[in-house]
């Protein structure tokens, strides 16, 4: 409330109180004059009239007494209000800011909050009592609402601020969640990502997840042409991811995986070429993220496959690329053991390949231990089921 408006309101209330006081004085004079006129009547009428007048005057005086008392209190209230108005803005501001100590006591002491209760005690009339009760009830509701608001504000202040999740983050979280599933839901991740490809196809975090989703769809596809298409599209998405951000470990990792998947549908020349790409990008992924067990497991698979190459396959590789890929069973074993070290019980397939390495190295007792560890793990994924078949064959040969 502006200070000029506050002064105008105070002056208006004072003027009203003065008018009420003047009306009371006039009423008393008129009552006294009326009493003198009644003396001119006859004795019988005079006596009866005086009795009636005294009764009426007594009732009127009682009411006027109560009114005078109320006006006196009103003057006090107006004076207190006049003193409080210059500070009213500060009090309201403090209350809204939740300063519960001084602001609440100031609110209770304010004339705006005392007036309804005092008027109710004066009891001028049943109507004024009803109004006072309503005013007090309404005011009590105001105080309660303000208190609740203050409590809500204080609760909001205690809560830590939460950053809004943008559309890309929400999409990536959904893709990660679908990838974690073991059933057909995993294949749904590809569709959810492709729906937003036009918006986010320049984001590395989106592209490597798209490459991963193509790998998941490849595993669930039945038709050979569909599998090859998933591998080709996934490799392309992975290549785009690492071209945008060459320091993204996941981009290199999934590009290598798609190169490995695509090699199953390529000629010998392209198969060897993809093998080199597979190794180079896995090495880069391990360099960027050395604590990821998946990269070591995949590198172990590559080393084991190279160690099993025949003489003719090595000769072809040397003819096409000058130098054939080189890796031993011992190299493969070290990578599988590293994956197990980083993440114990990483996968059933990791135990199966550990058993294969130990068998090829002539360590059959360690191979059987790895088989036992693999048998102790349940089959939860399609890959686990494939590992189980190889495990049964391998264990029978030990």
Comparing CA positions, the residue from 138, 85, 146 lying closest to residue 110 is 85
Least confident of 75-79, 168-172, 206-210, 368-372: 75-79
Give yes or no for residue 52 having a pLDDT over 60: no
In sequence order, what DSSP letters do the residues of 357-386 get, joined into one string?
Answer: HHHHTT-HHHHHHHHHHHHTS---SHHHHH
Which one is predicted more confidently, 131 or 267?
267
Q: Tell me, what's the pLDDT at 121?
A: 39
Q: Tell me, what's the pLDDT at 71?
A: 75
Least confident of 5-19, 136-150, 323-337: 136-150
Among positive and negative, which fits the CA dihedral 23, 26, 32, 34? negative
| Helices 268-288, 293-307: inter-axial angle, 10-degree rounding | 150
What is the spatial distance between Cα 190 and Cα 181, in angstroms, rounded to a whole number? 13
What is the spatial distance between Cα 258 and Cα 209, in angstroms, rounded to a whole number? 12
Comparing CA positions, the residue from 146, 150, 213 lying closest to residue 176 is 213
pLDDT band for position 165 (50/70/90)?
A: low
Q: Tell me, what's the pLDDT at 381?
A: 87
Find all residues with CB under 8 Å of 330, minimum gap 6, and list them.
357, 361
In this structure, what token pair is assigned to residue 3? 């200070």
Give yes or no for residue 371 having a pLDDT over 60: yes
What is the spatial distance between Cα 19 and Cα 128, in angstroms, rounded to a whole number? 19
Which one is predicted more confidently, 329 or 33?
329
Length reported for the chain: 398
pLDDT band for position 55 (50/70/90)?
A: low
- Angle made by CA atoms 236, 242, 246, in degrees to the nearest 5: 165
pLDDT band for position 117 (50/70/90)?
A: very low
What is the spatial distance between Cα 251 and Cα 258, in angstroms, rounded to a whole number? 11
Give yes or no for residue 341 having a pLDDT over 80: yes
What confidence tens digit (pLDDT) does each residue in 299-322 have? 999 999 999 988 887 788 777 777
pLDDT band for position 324 (50/70/90)?
A: confident
Q: Tell me, what's the pLDDT at 146?
A: 42
The proportion of the chain whose per-residue pLDDT surpasses 70, expressed as a percent, equals 65
Give yes or no for residue 180 having a pLDDT over 50: yes
What is the spatial distance between Cα 332 and Cα 325, in angstroms, rounded to a whole number? 14
In this structure, what token pair is assigned to residue 1? 């409330």
What confidence tens digit (pLDDT) does each residue in 228-268 have? 999 999 999 999 999 999 999 999 999 999 999 999 998 88
Comparing CA positions, the residue from 199, 183, 179 lying closest to residue 254 is 179
In this structure, what token pair is assigned to residue 189? 């991740």
Q: What is the mean pLDDT of residues 320-346?
A: 91
Are 253 and 292 spatial neighbours (Cβ–Cβ below 8 Å)? yes
- Arithmetic mean of pLDDT over the chain: 77
Q: Tell me, what's the pLDDT at 309?
A: 86
Comparing CA positions, the residue from 393, 325, 398 lying closest to residue 360 is 398
pLDDT band for position 164 (50/70/90)?
A: low
Are 46 and 38 spatial neighbours (Cβ–Cβ below 8 Å)? yes
Are 81 and 1 spatial neighbours (Cβ–Cβ below 8 Å)? no
Are 178 and 185 spatial neighbours (Cβ–Cβ below 8 Å)? yes
Q: Tell me, what's the pLDDT at 227?
A: 95
Taking only Cα atoms into account, the Rg of the chain, rounded to an integer number of angstroms, comes to 46
pLDDT band for position 51 (50/70/90)?
A: low
What is the spatial distance between Cα 210 and Cα 234, in angstroms, rounded to a whole number? 7
Tokens 């049943």 belong to residue: 126
Q: Tell me, what's the pLDDT at 187?
A: 80
Which one is predicted more confidently, 204 or 52?
204
Q: What is the mean pLDDT of residues 203-225?
A: 94
Q: What is the mean pLDDT of residues 361-383?
A: 95
Q: Tell me, what's the pLDDT at 100?
A: 45
Comparing CA positions, the residue from 333, 256, 241 lying closest to residue 287 is 256
Helix ranges restricted to H, 245-291:
249-262, 268-288
What is the spatial distance between Cα 292 and Cα 283, in angstroms, rounded to a whole number? 12
**Most confident segment among 6-10, 49-53, 111-115, 163-167:** 163-167
Helix (H, G, I), strand (E, B) or coil at 2: coil
Query: If you count DSSP H runs as helices and E runs as strands, how many of each does the chain have, helices first?
Result: 19, 0
- Angle made by CA atoms 301, 303, 305, in degrees to the nearest 5: 65
Give yes or no for residue 47 having a pLDDT over 70: no
Q: Tell me, what's the pLDDT at 195?
A: 94
């Amino acid at each position: 409330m502006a200070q000029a408006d506050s002064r105008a309101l105070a002056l208006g209330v004072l003027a009203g109180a003065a008018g009420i006081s003047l009306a009371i004085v006039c009423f008393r004079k008129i009552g006294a004059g009326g009493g003198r006129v009644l003396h001119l009547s006859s004795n019988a009428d005079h006596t009866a009239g005086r009795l009636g007048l005294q009764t009426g005057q007594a009732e009127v005086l009682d009411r006027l007494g109560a009114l005078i008392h109320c006006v006196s209190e009103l003057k006090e209230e107006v004076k207190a209000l006049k003193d409080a108005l210059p500070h009213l803005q500060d009090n309201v501001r403090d209350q809204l800011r939740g300063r519960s100590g001084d602001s609440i006591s100031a609110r209770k002491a304010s004339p705006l909050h005392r007036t309804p209760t005092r008027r109710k005690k004066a009891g001028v009339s049943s109507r004024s009592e009803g109004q006072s009760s309503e005013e007090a009830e309404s005011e009590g509701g105001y105080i309660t609402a303000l208190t609740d608001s203050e409590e809500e504000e204080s609760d909001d202040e205690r809560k830590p601020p939460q950053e809004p999740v943008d559309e890309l983050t929400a999409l990536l979280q959904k893709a990660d969640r679908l990838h974690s599933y073991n059933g057909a839901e995993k294949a749904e991740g590809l569709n959810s990502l492709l729906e937003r490809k036009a918006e986010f196809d320049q984001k590395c975090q989106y592209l490597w997840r798209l490459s991963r989703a193509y790998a998941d769809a490849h595993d669930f596809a039945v038709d050979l042409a569909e599998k090859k298409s998933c591998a080709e599209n996934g490799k392309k998405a992975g290549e785009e991811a690492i071209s945008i951000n060459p320091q993204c470990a996941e981009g290199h990792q999934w590009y290598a995986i798609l190169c490995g998947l695509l090699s199953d549908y390529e000629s010998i020349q392209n198969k060897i070429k993809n093998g080199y790409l597979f190794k180079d990008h896995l090495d880069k992924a391990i360099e960027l993220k050395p604590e990821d067990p998946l990269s070591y497991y995949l590198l172990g698979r590559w080393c084991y496959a190279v160690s099993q190459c025949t003489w003719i396959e090595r000769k072809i590789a040397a003819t096409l690329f000058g130098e054939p890929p080189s890796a031993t069973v011992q190299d493969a074993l070290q990578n599988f053991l590293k994956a197990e070290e980083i993440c114990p019980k990483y996968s059933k397939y990791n135990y199966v390949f550990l058993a294969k390495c130990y068998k090829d190295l002539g360590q059959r007792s360690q191979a059987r231990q790895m088989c036992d560890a693999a048998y102790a793990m349940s089959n939860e994924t399609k890959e686990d089921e494939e590992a189980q078949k190889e495990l049964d064959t391998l264990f029978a040969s030990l």
